[in-house]
Amino acid sequence: DAKTTQPDSMESTEGETVHLPCSHATISGNEYIYWYRQVPLQGPEYVTHGLQQNTTNSMAFLAIASDRKSSTLILPHVSLRDAAVYHCILRVDGGNNKLTFGQGTVLSVIP
Amino acid sequence: AQTIHQWPVAEIKAVGSPLSLGCTIKGKSSPNLYWYWQATGGTLQQLFYSITVGQVESVVQLNLSASRPKDDQFILSTEKLLLSHSGFYLCAWSQGLNTEVFFGKGTRLTVV
């Protein structure tokens, strides 16, 4: 699977909108962009995913660049419970549905 | 709604002792099931996956084995624990092989 690059950490204040960047310059045409978040001592929580078009759900908005070499997870009006490690993962369509986690971005939220 | 239950929540075991971790999925028939492992300070990696009862594929060799005795049950085990087996074990499921994966709350294993 192609590699992703994320900043090690980001900080935000409650109520702000956070933009979490992810670079995937060598992404293949059949790779989906998945975002998960994880807090200590818990399993990862699915946030969203996309292939080419921007997507939105109750948790976040995923903006995908037109060349698909980067994406941004946008979290509107963050709260303290949004503090977590956010993982940007590329998953190949088909195979064993393997998710390859990296270190992700540690998002800190200040009251 | 689907629920995923893992047991035990935490375990402390001696080196050389056997291990059995369990996972049950309720509210979903014929799910794809997965075992993931995270060493302390490390990243999550997939260990096994299963698409049907009785069929399990190994992804990473860690002297562990997995079995799927029922449609809704996934078991991770070994006869002899190593210190390197310590970490956080997560069971997960998905509806198909190309859909989002949902994780359980995990089992924290400490081998002493």
| Closest CA–CA distance from residue A80 to any residue of chain B (Å) | 20
Chain B, window 18-47: residues with a beta carbon less than 8 angstroms from a chain A beta carbon: 32, 34, 36, 43-46
Q: State the pLDDT at residue A89.
A: 93
CB-based contact A99 B46, cutoff 8 Å: yes
Contacts of B92 in chain A (CB under 8 A): 43
**Buried-state track A15-45, b at ≥16 Cβ within 10 A, e below 16:** eeebebebbbeebeeebbbbbbbbeeeebbe
Per DSSP, what are the bridge partners of residue B11?
Answer: B109
| Closest CA–CA distance from residue A7 to any residue of chain B (Å) | 16
Q: Is B87 helix (H, G, I), strand (E, B) or coil?
A: strand
Q: Is some CB atom of chain A closer than 8 A to the CB atom of B99? A: yes
* Position A6 pLDDT exceeds 90: yes
pLDDT in tens, B66-89: 999 999 999 999 999 999 999 999
CB-based contact B44 A95, cutoff 8 Å: no
Q: What is the pLDDT along chain B (112 residues), one digit of tens a residue?
A: 889 999 999 999 999 999 999 999 999 889 999 999 999 888 899 999 999 999 999 998 889 999 999 999 999 999 999 999 999 999 999 988 778 899 999 999 999 9
Q: How far apart are CA B75 and CA A50, in angstroms?
A: 32
Q: How far apart are CA B21 and CA B37, in angstroms?
A: 12
CB-based contact A49 B100, cutoff 8 Å: yes
**A93, A96, A100 ranked by CB distance to B57: nearest:** A96
Q: State the pLDDT at residue A100.
A: 86
**A93, A94, A97 ranked by CB distance to B101: nearest:** A97
Q: State the pLDDT at residue A96.
A: 76
CB-based contact A43 B104, cutoff 8 Å: yes
Q: Is B85 helix (H, G, I), strand (E, B) or coil?
A: helix
Q: State the pLDDT at residue B28.
A: 86
Contacts of B34 in chain A (CB under 8 A): 97
* Position A1 pLDDT exceeds 60: no
B70, amino acid identity: K
